[in-house]
Amino acid sequence: MNLNIAWLYPDLMSTYGDRGNIIAVTKRAEWRGIDVIVKDISLGTAVRELKSSDLIFMGGAQDRQQKIAGRDFLERKSPIMRDMVERGVPALFVCAAYQAVGRYYKPYQGDRIPGPGIFDLYTEHSGDQAKRLIGNVVAEILPSFWGASATPESDSGHARMTKRTTIVGFENHGGRTYLGPALKPLAKVIKGFGNNGEDGFEGAVYKHAVGSYFHGPLLPKNPLLADWLIQRALETKYGKRIPLPALDDTLEYRAQTAVLNRI
Ligand code: GLN
């Protein structure tokens, strides 16, 4: 078995250490004997490289880089990405990427950056950099995320998997994101700001695509999400459920607990 991961704009949108998500998914797949190829997809990359991928990742960036990537993303990459998301290819969009897949992002300065609306949401910067939403953040994944097909136990195929639904991370964004009526949030904020610091929710989920404000990076300290993405990629690629053998996640959850204890 193998997985092709499309990493969108690694040269522009990886400002907050989100490359750690690529490392986490790659290692957790390889530790299960799954070969992984990571494809850097940026401004000049042929869209066939994106189209042939099984998992999509796009990370965080400052407003300036978002503007540089914006036109290429909207006009060249997003039509392919929309089709992939619609047919169940999993994706993780972190912060600026989460903003970019919505209908628009109004940055701190300048005009709106239009988006493809793959996620029915919009984001507007507060207009005051002193009011950036920054800090450690803890949230509880909503039961609706697991749906009927994907629960922690069934995905990882080992009974001793505790139903860990707490996720931890670090957020740093000026944008406030508001979800459309049918778009489901990923999690309920326990500590921190989340999407907008007002409605108490964090992130969004559409089919197998996940948007989140969690840097940290997100996946190394929240292995359940990493495995959920790998599982969905395998299912969509091979057309059947392929349980993942258990891994010893002691270190991962020790790192998660360290963050929980700190805040
Ligand atoms: N530039 C965007 C904002 O300030 C996204 C920041 C990020 O990716 N951390 O909201």
- Mapped to the 3 state alphabet, what secondary structure does 175-202 carry? EEEEECCCCECCEEEEECCCCCCCCCEE
pLDDT in tens, 67-98: 999 999 999 999 999 999 999 999 999 999 99
pLDDT tens by residue, the chain, 263 residues: 999 999 999 999 999 999 999 999 999 999 999 999 999 999 989 999 999 999 999 999 999 999 999 999 999 999 999 999 999 999 999 999 999 999 999 999 999 999 999 999 999 999 999 899 999 999 999 998 987 544 555 554 433 334 569 999 999 999 999 999 999 999 999 999 999 999 999 999 999 999 999 999 999 999 999 999 999 999 999 999 999 999 999 999 999 999 999 88
User: What is the pLDDT at residue 161?
Assistant: 37
- Pocket-testing residue among 101, 173, 202, 215, ligand 1, by greatest number of atoms within 8 A of Cβ: 173
81-95 burial, b at 16+ Cβ within 10 Å, e below that, comes to beebbeeebbbbbbb
Both structure tokens of 152 = 């922690």
Among 125, 173, 208, 215, the active-site one is: 215
In the chain, which ranges are continuous DSSP H helix?
19-30, 47-51, 63-72, 78-86, 96-100, 143-146, 152-156, 223-238, 250-262
Residue bearing the CA closest to ligand 1, atom 5: 96
CATH number at residue 73: 3.40.50.880
| CA distances, 26 to each of 2, 33, 103, 184 (Å) | 11, 11, 30, 27
Give the Cα-Cα-Cα angle 90, 148, 170 (nearest 5 degrees).
50
**pTM assigned to the model:** 0.95
125 assigned to active site = no
Q: Is 175 in the pocket of ligand 1 (CB under 6 A)?
A: yes
pLDDT the model gives residue 152: 54
Q: Please say if 173 is a catalytic residue.
A: no
* Amino acid sitting at position 140: E
Q: What are phi and psi of 181, to 5 degrees?
A: -60, -30
Which among 92, 172, 195 is the best mutation to test ligand 1's pocket, defined by most ligand atoms within 8 Å of the CB?
Answer: 172
| Domain count of the fold of the chain | 1
List pLDDT tens digits, range 113-137.
999 999 999 999 999 998 999 999 9
Domain that holds residue 181: 2-262
Query: How far, in Å, CA of 69 to CA of 21, rounded?
Result: 20
Q: Would you say 210 and 229 are in contact if contact means Cβ atoms under 8 Å apart?
A: yes
Contact at 8 Å (CB) between 186 and 141? yes
pLDDT of residue 29: 98
Q: Which has the closest alpha carbon to 247: 28, 1, 21, 2?
A: 28
Closest ligand 1 atom number to CA of residue 171: 9
The Cα angle at residue 176 between residues 173 and 178, in degrees rounded to 5: 140
